[in-house]
Structure 1
Amino acid sequence: MVAYSQCEYSGPSPSSIKAIEAAQGDRKPWTGELAQVWRKRGKYPLTPNETAFILQSLSIPTDTNIYLAAGDGLMEIEGLTSVYINVVTKSSLLSDEDFTSMHGNTKAALDYYVSINSDSYVGTYFGNMDKMVAAMRVFKGLYKTLFLSRRAFTEFTSQGFSGRDLMQALWKAHLEGYVMRRGSALPDCFCELKL
């Protein structure tokens, strides 16, 4: 999602910048005040680094099995895989021949199928796919669904929070969101785990 947005991120590698620019096509990234407004509203998709940090803040164990329902190789996935060691992608599940012969819609269908049938689902962006997955998971009675708060992450980092303080603030923001019924969450995480 990062690569297909019009968001501008600081610090990606030259290969990631090239992949992002190719995915964006003729859509120019937001810059200046507009970029700041969108970022503060939580409209930027989370990067793999940000996702790993928030998952750690929520005490999600680093040996959790994670299926990454996203495009392969468009952003620095090492930010997630260096922390969460059991990350699986479409390209790692399929043979090279099957992966390269699959159409984009077929790949999206695979992501959708795995997402609605997983024990838990964590969304890093609230796009069309996330909305469909969340709705189907509710329909099927699978309530372990969490949308990471991009707005809280941006707000706390802009206030200078970092490290343990940022982790505690994010945990509290997600707990409050769950208690106030803003979006879905993983209730057992908040009932059983303490920071």
Structure 2
Amino acid sequence: MAVISVKPMFTVVVVTLSLILAVLVFSPTSPFYQSPLSLASPQRKLDIWSVGRIVEWRPCKWWLQGHLTALPSKSNGFIRVDCYGGLNQMRRDLCDGVGIARLLNATLVLPKFEVAAYWNESRYPQFAKAALCQACYSALRLTKALEKKASELLEAIPKPFLSLHLRFEPDMVAYSQCEYPYLSPASIEAVKAAQGDRKPWTGELAQIWRKRGKCPLTPNETAFILQVLSIPTNTNIYLAAGDGLMEIEGLTSVYTNVVTKSSLLSGEDFKSMHGNTKAALDYYVSINSDSYIATYFGNMDKMVAAMRAYNGLYKTLFLSRRAFAEYTSQGLIGKELMQALWKTHRDDFVMGRGSALPDCFCEFKL
């Protein structure tokens, strides 16, 4: 949430437009919980990126190319945006603030960030919604020092590469209220330490929750779906993930060319970084990657997908936790499970589902 003070006339509380999705879950009743997933038959020759798309999301012309009205000569006052939360939450708060400032014909002063400045301030365009879109996608940039570090990281990654946003940290699993009884003892202890009073769902409630797609995919499940999508196992993968990612061997035992921030940056440099700085590096690398796949649909994923669409990069896909939970609960295994998962993700990619935020992007038929 961003708290916006307007002088001399008003006080406005802006609730970010980002959709905050509940976190994921996975039930121990799945037949794939007790052993690593493996493909039951050879991969198809056609990978997911080779499928022809029907729909493409592009920046709407009304804000990208339109002739916008000039600002009135007199301002109604001043607005200051206080930005809180994660990196992309703060970005969205700032973009909302630009739109509100234009709507109220108020002057936006430099934003106050909760921890430190990560985004450069920019010139703000004209009427409210166009101002939001232009500020978010055309004007807003990382600070020069941070962009330099991010550019160096991008340069160090073997090319071409897939940026994979994988969420399976202890706090994510704990928040999801899902049981993972077949994790390693160390992972189970880490989840318990992060749970606090939030206990896992059990019984029928756990099944209902899981079928809603509230479960984080494990690294092993992620590797299985990537194989279903015919992503070659020798693909260079940049792992965009937070600290403490669990069970990573489930991915790296299949996809062996995986690099991380910590493996590419010097130890001291990495240890001293704030969490939002690390998120900024992941954001920059992901919007410039050859392809992007996420196992989650949070603020970062929405912004990355939108910026990739803005830049004309359409190899973007979100893995479906809901579909995986539904198909495994139906008892699908082997070839049947592979075919069902392929069809779901193929259809999502063909229609461009989840590839951009709707407020500034329009659907184009191909």
TM-score of the two chains, using structure 1 as the length reference: 0.86
Shift of residue 25 of structure 1?
5.0
Shift of residue 27 of structure 1?
5.5
Residue aligned with 2:171, SS: coil
CA RMSD of aligned residues (A): 1.7
1:189 is matched with: none
1:79 is matched with: 250
CA contact (8 A) 2:239 2:259 kept: yes
Matches within 5 A, 1:16-27: 16-22=187-193, 24=194, 26=196
CA contact (8 A) 1:16 1:74 kept: no
Q: Partners of 2:342 and 2:247 in 1: how far apart?
A: 24
Residue aligned with 2:280, SS: helix
CA, structure 1 residues 117+27, in 2 after alignment: closer, same or farther (shift >3 Å)?
farther
2:198 is matched with: 28
2:287 is equivalent to residue 116 of structure 1 = yes
Among residues 296, 311, 320, which one is paired with 1:140 in the alignment?
Answer: 311
Shift of residue 172 of structure 1?
1.3
Q: Partners of 2:238 and 2:277 in 1: how far apart?
A: 16
2:332 is matched with: 161
Amino acid in the other structure paired with 1:21 = K
Q: Partners of 1:139 and 1:34 in 2: how far apart?
A: 40
2:238 is equivalent to residue 67 of structure 1 = yes
Amino acid in the other structure paired with 1:177 = D
CA, structure 1 residues 88+39, in 2 after alignment: closer, same or farther (shift >3 Å)?
same
Of structures 1 and 2, the larger Rg is shown by 2
Q: Partners of 1:105 and 1:73 in 2: how far apart?
A: 15
2:255 is equivalent to residue 88 of structure 1 = no
After superposition, the C-alpha distances for 1:31-70 in whole angstroms (9 at most, x for unaligned) are 1244322211112221101100000000000001111101
Q: How many residues align?
A: 183
| Contiguous gaps of at least 5 residues in structure 2 | 1-166, 356-366
Q: Partners of 1:38 and 1:97 in 2: how far apart?
A: 41
Higher relative contact order (CA 8 A, sep 6+): 2
| Contiguous gaps of at least 5 residues in structure 1 | 185-195
Amino acid in the other structure paired with 1:171 = W
CA, structure 1 residues 72+88, in 2 after alignment: closer, same or farther (shift >3 Å)?
farther
CA contact (8 A) 2:215 2:321 kept: yes
Q: Partners of 1:47 and 1:162 in 2: how far apart?
A: 17
Q: Partners of 1:27 and 1:122 in 2: how far apart?
A: 32
Amino acid in the other structure paired with 1:74 = L
2:171 is matched with: 4
> More deviation in 25-34 or 74-83?
25-34
Q: Partners of 2:300 and 2:241 in 1: how far apart?
A: 10
Amino acid in the other structure paired with 1:99 = F
After superposition, the C-alpha distances for 1:83-124 in whole angstroms (9 at most, x for unaligned) are 001111111111221111111111111111111110000010
Q: Partners of 1:167 and 1:94 in 2: how far apart?
A: 37
| Identical counterparts, % of pairs | 74
Residue aligned with 2:328, SS: helix
CA contact (8 A) 1:153 1:170 kept: yes
CA contact (8 A) 1:46 1:150 kept: yes
TM-score of the two chains, using structure 2 as the length reference: 0.47
Amino acid in the other structure paired with 1:151 = R
Amino acid in the other structure paired with 1:94 = L
Q: Partners of 2:285 and 2:192 in 1: how far apart?
A: 29
The ranges of structure 1 where at least 4 consecutive aligned residues each deviate by more than 4 angstroms after the TM superposition are none
Q: Partners of 1:182 and 1:43 in 2: how far apart?
A: 18
